[in-house]
Amino acid sequence: MNQPTWEDLNKLKEEFREEQRQLKEEVRKLREQITEPIKVTRVEVASADVERRLDNHAEMLKEISQKQDKFIADVDELKLDAKAYTGDAAIFKNKVERIEIDVSTIKEDVGTLKTNMEQVKTDIGTIKTIQNGHSKFFEEHGKRLNLMATKDDIATMATKDDIARLEGLIKQLLQQKPNE
């Protein structure tokens, strides 16, 4: 069953009140039809006509009673629905309050993250500066390494033994020249 809205509840209340008003009006009219008894010595009433009218009134009272019972049942059901809506509203309110708390916490966390990101940006800037210094240092170091002899360069260089042999040869050559 679809849950009735407040508008539906109010509409049913209004219909109920209108039916009650109509019932009261019908009862008032019925009471007005009753007159003071007149003493009659001789009454000639068609009993069929009286019975028909009484049957009509009984039927009308029965319909009124049924309508009133239906309205009472509807009002009771609406009361139950209203209680359920009240409970649902309390639950919804509780959830909204928790969401508000969560949003507040998230706002605080975002503020903290912004502050932390500013510090991270500063740290990254410092690291970049240091890396630029290191880059220059390694560039200079690379130039110095290029000026240094390599393993291949050293392999072609003379050793102490080679130098000692050359010294010996030069001495021999120097000694031979003046004698000649």
Please give the residue range of the domain that contains residue 103. 6-32+50-147
Span 109-124, average pLDDT: 91
pTM listed for this prediction: 0.35
Structure-model confidence comparison of residues 4 and 115, the more confident one: 115
Into how many domains does the chain fold? 2
Mean pLDDT score of the chain: 84
69 and 108 assigned to the same domain: yes
Give residue 50's pLDDT: 75
Other CB atoms within a 10 A radius of the CB of residue 16 amount to 18
Q: Nearest 5°: CA angle at 63, between 62 and 69? A: 90
Give residue 11's pLDDT: 87
Asked if pLDDT for residue 180 goes beyond 60, the answer is: no
Quickly state the pLDDT bin for 66 (edges 50, 70, 90): very high
Span 38-63, average pLDDT: 76
62 and 105 assigned to the same domain: yes
**45: in domain:** no
96 and 17 assigned to the same domain: yes
The pair of three-digit structure tokens given for residue 40, joined into one six-digit string: 């009659």
Structure-model confidence comparison of residues 3 and 105, the more confident one: 105
Percent with pLDDT over 90 in the chain: 24
**121: in domain:** yes
Quickly state the pLDDT bin for 42 (edges 50, 70, 90): low
Quote the CA–CA distance of 50 and 152 in Å, as a whole number: 142
Span 148-162, average pLDDT: 80
**157: in domain:** yes
Which secondary structure element, helix H or strand E, spans residue 49, and what is its range?
Answer: helix 47-147
CA 131 to chain centre: 44
22 and 100 assigned to the same domain: yes
86 and 168 assigned to the same domain: no
63 and 130 assigned to the same domain: yes
Quote the CA–CA distance of 122 and 133 in Å, as a whole number: 17
Closest by Cα among 62, 93, 85 to 7? 85
